[in-house]
Structure 1
């Protein structure tokens, strides 16, 4: 799990302009898109728990959401969200974080190290969710649904915390260090 109480302090950056804060706002907008899709999936899961939609219909419903049409190849329950979050983190890991490691202060590099560690937690949950979702779509049952829902809820909690920390910690650093997003 992620321990929000042991995160490194925010970097102290002087004389940050509104233009420099734009990159941080852009990252936050990307995060809002992912959180919106997670919320949509949570609503569908709530419908199933309430008996309004059978578990076997979940994959079909999820694969017809707006974002899912772009990621239909993922094909499993919550599969497009697992794929999308993995893609998002890969972009950060391969582009944004190396730029921050090269250009950023020691405080920023410490934050990047922490964010990378949190990515590992998210990816472990994504793997668990993908496996549970696959099982649910193959043999839907109340037990499998309950397990999938618990992993999904844990993922949402972790992602919300991670995104908030990332946005807060990097809000100014992305622009100050001229990081391409």
Structure 2
């Protein structure tokens, strides 16, 4: 995962100025992983019992994950583009 190498490099190069941004991004990563797990569980249940409710649940789980990822990437690109270039942190 990018956070395993990129975030420590940003933290050491960016200091306190980037600490809140990195904390938010790491928290968002945890949320996204939970949403992926939710979708996986819904898909597994759907395989066991393919019914309209299961399809609806999978659709809802996918939509939640899609919204979270789009929001996360938008924020990440907006707040990290300049620091990554200025601090020369490889990605």
- TM-score tier after normalising by the smaller chain length: over 0.9
Deviation at 1:138, TM superposition (A): 2.9
Instruction: With the length of structure 1 as denominator, give the TM-score of the two structures.
Output: 0.48
Which residue number in structure 1 is paired with residue 83 of structure 2?
Answer: 173
Matches within 5 A, 1:20-169: 90=1, 92-169=2-79
Structure 2: gaps (5+ residues): none
- Secondary structure of the residue aligned to 1:104 is helix
Q: Which has the higher helix share?
A: 2
* CA positional deviation for 1:98: 1.0
What is the root-mean-square deviation of aligned Cα atoms in Å? 1.1
Distance 2:47 2:17 in 1: 44
Give the paired residue count: 91
- Choose 1 or 2 for highest CA Rg: 1
TM-superposed deviation, 1:169: 0.3
Q: How far off is 1:139 after superposition?
A: 2.4
Q: Structure 2-normalised TM-score?
A: 0.92
Partner of 1:35: none
SS at match of 1:140: coil
Aligned partners of 2:9, 2:31: CA distance in 1, in Å? 22
